[in-house]
Amino acid sequence: MSFVKYEQTGFVGVMTIDREKALNALNSEVLADLEAAIDAIDLDATRCVVLTGAGQKSFVAGADIGEMSTLTKAEGEAFGKKGNDVFRKLETLPIPVIAAVNGFALGGGCELSLSCDIRLASENAVFAQPETGLGITPGFGGTQRLARTINVGKAKEMLYAGTKVKADEALSLGLVNAVYPADELMGAAMKLAEKIARNAPIAVRASKKAVNDGLQVNIDEAIVIEEKLFGSCFETEDQKNGMTAFVEKRKPEPFVNR
């Protein structure tokens, strides 16, 4: 996995796209490495993942234009499917993923961040979907996830005009949860990841599944999804631990993911 580095710190995995000289642009090899890194995550030992890019200039500056420039219609569709398959795998990972957006998140980089559960940004972060200026549409889910994340009108502006959104505006749009100085971003992301990891893992996973699955159906069906996931938590050791500790007015023992 030459273009994707993975490190484990306690219950938190840190995944870094490491193609800094190309501003971490996504080509077929990077996508393959990213998929392999996702597949290799030990879900028994990992409760949250932080995803970032190497250096402080760029999270991911888009897909590799040089590679895409000569694609045929069929090859373009296949390349889009490859990216979508990898990003969907990240989006549906049972554990939460935090994007630490350190600089440019353009095109495929913006789309990659949208595949994560939570986005934190550095003050120099810039988000954009500039594809129409290259004669194409976003191909890795940008037309779908952006309009599900921020105001539809603003999403359409970004998609049609390629409008760039800096960190402060991204915060006001709800595109990111918080903005930090560049040298504080990873510390803040790790702090949040560790906070998530301290909670009952089965309950956190169930919450992620309830949100993601519920958003795809009507409210009546969504409530049933929640009811079943809520009920399933009562079979766990962690629920007994957490509730017993609350009743006894003490802190729970560390959650064991059972």
**Maximum distance among all Cα pairs of the chain, rounded to whole angstroms:** 66
β-sheet bridge partners, residue 50: 14, 98
The CA distance from 155 to 87, in Å, is 19
- Tell me which of 7, 29, 91, 111 is the catalytic residue: 111
Tell me 26's DSSP state.
B
- Compute the CA torsion angle 34, 36, 37, 42 (nearest 10 deg): 150
Is 131 marked active-site? yes
Query: Residue 198, SS3?
Result: helix
Is 169 marked active-site? no
| Core vs surface per residue 95-104: b (16+ CB within 10 A) or e | bbbbbbbbbb
Which tokens sit at 129? 């979907």
- Tell me which of 131, 169, 227, 248 is the catalytic residue: 131
Active site residues: 111, 131
